[in-house]
Amino acid sequence: MKVRVAINGYGTIGKRVADAVARQPDMTLVGVAKTRPSYDAHRAVDRGYPLYVAGNGTRAEFESAGLPVAGTVEEMVRATDVVIDAAPEKIGGENAARYHAAGVRAIFQGGEQAGVAEVSFNALANYGAALDKHRVRVVSCNTTGIARAAAVLTSKFGVESWDVTIVRRAADPAESQRGPINGILPTFHLPSHHGPDVQTIFPKLAITTTAVVVPTTLMHVHVNHVRLTTPPRDATAVVEAFRGTPRFHIFAAWEKVDGTPQVMDFARDRGSSDVMENVLWENGIRLAGPDLYFFQAVHQESIVVPENIDAVRAMFKLAPDAASSMAITDAALGLRGRSVGPR
Ligand code: NAD
């Protein structure tokens, strides 16, 4: 039996998650809900996804734009086993009561408060905690990137303390109204909210985060300093630990990937502008005694997509553990762990 999945909120995250659901062997995409007609709505119709009207949108608006409507969001919710809510932040929290009243399970995104769900989720870190749950929150893009790295480092070497500076992209590529277009903005909330968000998954992790916003739309970059409990003799063991883990892509120095522009170019060359893996640079991983330094880049638009899929699988116990769920998800999404070795 396939689990029926509906997407409420068809923007940056929702449209990518819808495509991912449509590719899974054990899930059926019931439809997607959108408030207003737009090129995104057209995209949904082009792909054959039933389109439902959400929020204060009307059927007439969509139909006058030539977009066929399958029904209201309430009808979509009644026809599904689980809703993945990808509406703008705070709206998911408001939608929670509606899902509960309809008796359907729900997945929320990182823009919602942790209390909206029974568990905050990252596949590699705490898949088991979401087994059979009814409300799960997939943490934000930055938290997902850190949680994946934390799953590797805590299990292989132990972590005494961790400081991260998050160099944040100013806007997603389609957000022409946001800035800055010239300037670097410190985030004066010190430390930033990301550390406590990571602790919703790793409650005992001694992590502190700070952030600056820079004028780019491509990716976030994390500058990490981790004090390891049992450090290996050299950085090679850390490189191999990351390289051997699904959803990590490690660039070798010879590949000449200087930064996020080449990562995006690499992504386009492999057929998409999305990078769902944590991106690390082999020559950007250094060990000095117990102190590990590394950079990682996070593609904000797509990194949480596979985690939403694994969350569905955990909630309906379609796979018993993270490794088996991630293997199905990654095969369906074409994530092949294509990191190459040193040359
Ligand atoms: P978005 O603005 O790109 O898309 C949201 C979509 O929901 C839009 O199509 C909007 O029209 C629609 N919408 C508005 N009101 C609605 C309603 N009442 N019901 C249903 N749909 C409604 O937002 P996004 O960037 O995709 O973010 C969605 C969630 O994902 C947020 O919680 C956000 O914090 C989180 N998130 C975003 C990113 C990112 O970088 N964009 C990364 C990770 C997580």
**Protein residue closest via CA to atom 1 of ligand 1:** 11
Cα(163)–Cα(55) distance, rounded to whole angstroms?
Answer: 40
**Residue 340 pLDDT more than 80?**
no
- How much is the mean pLDDT over the chain? 96
Ligand 1 atom 33, closest CA: 111
Nearest CA to ligand 1 atom 11: 35
pLDDT at 129 over 60: yes
- Ligand 1 centre to CA of 42 (Å) is 17
Ligand 1 lined by 284 (C-beta under 6 Å): no
In three-state secondary structure terms, 298 is strand
Query: Among all residues, which ones are annotated catalytic?
Result: 141
Q: For residue 109, which atom of ligand 1 is closest to its CA?
A: 32
Q: How confident is residue 337, by pLDDT bands cut at 50, 70 and 90? A: low
* Residue-level pLDDT at 275: 97
Top pLDDT among 340 and 83 is at 83
Is the CB of residue 87 below 6 angstroms from any atom belonging to ligand 1? yes
Q: Whose CA is nearest to atom 18 of ligand 1?
A: 55
11 lines ligand 1 (CB under 6 A): yes
Which residue's alpha carbon is at the smallest distance from atom 20 of ligand 1?
9
Domain 141-298 has CATH 3.10.20.30: no
Coil, helix or strand at residue 88: coil
Output the pLDDT for position 1. 84
Domain 3-139+304-333 has CATH 3.30.465.10: no
Count other C-beta atoms under 10 Å from residue 251's C-beta: 21
**H helix intervals, 79-228:** 91-102, 123-126, 141-156, 194-198
Kindly state if the Cβ of 304 falls inside 6 Å of ligand 1: yes
Cβ of 82 closer than 6 Å to ligand 1, yes or no, is no
Strand partners, 85: 8
Nearest CA to ligand 1 atom 21: 9
| Mean pLDDT calculated for residue range 134-138 | 98
Residue 299: HSE in the Cβ half-sphere, 13 Å Cα cutoff? 30
Does residue 143 have its Cβ closer than 6 Å to ligand 1? no
Expressed in angstroms and rounded, the spacing between residue 33 Cα and the centre of ligand 1 is 12
What are the tens digits of pLDDT across the range 29-72?
999 999 999 999 999 999 999 999 999 999 999 999 999 999 99
Q: Confidence class of residue 341 from pLDDT cuts 50, 70 and 90? A: very low
Tell me the pTM.
Answer: 0.97
270 CA to centre of ligand 1 in angstroms: 26
pLDDT tens figures, 229-282: 999 999 999 999 999 999 999 999 999 999 999 999 999 999 999 999 999 999
* Residue 89: alpha-carbon gap to chain centroid: 14
Residue 321 has pLDDT above 60, yes or no: yes
Residue to mutate, 15, 16, 35, ligand 1, most ligand atoms under 8 Å from C-beta: 35
Higher pLDDT pick, 340 / 293: 293
Q: How far apart are CA 283 and CA 342, in angstroms?
A: 10
Spatial distance between the Cα atoms of 12 and 7, rounded to a whole number of angstroms: 12
Q: Is the CB of 300 under 6 A from ligand 1?
A: yes
pLDDT band at residue 336 under the 50/70/90 scheme: confident
- Report the relative pairing of strands 220-228 and 159-169 from DSSP bridges: antiparallel
Contact residues for 140 (Cβ-Cβ < 8 A; gap 6+): 109, 110, 111, 194, 197, 304
Ligand 1 atom closest to 11 (CA): 4
Tokens describing residue 265: 């170019």
Q: Tell me if 88 CB under 6 Å of ligand 1.
A: yes
- Tell which atom from ligand 1 comes closest to the C-alpha of 40: 9
Answer left, alpha or beta for residue 8, where phi above 0 means left and psi between -120 and 50 means alpha: beta
Span 302-310, average pLDDT: 98
Residue 33 CB less than 6 A away from ligand 1? yes
| pLDDT for 286 beyond 90 | yes
State CA 269 to chain mean position distance. 22
Q: Which residues contact 88 (CB under 8 A, 6 or more apart)?
A: 9, 11, 111
Q: Is 110 in the pocket of ligand 1 (CB under 6 A)?
A: yes
pLDDT at 126: 98
Reported as a pLDDT band with limits 50, 70 and 90, residue 342 is: very low
Mean pLDDT (whole number) for 125-130: 98
Region 181-188 average pLDDT: 97
Give the residue among 12, 16, 24, 7 at the shortest CA–CA distance from 83.
7
Ligand 1 atom closest to Cα of 34? 21
The domains of the chain are located at 3-139+304-333, 141-298
Q: What is the pLDDT of residues 222-231, one digit of tens each?
A: 999 999 999 9
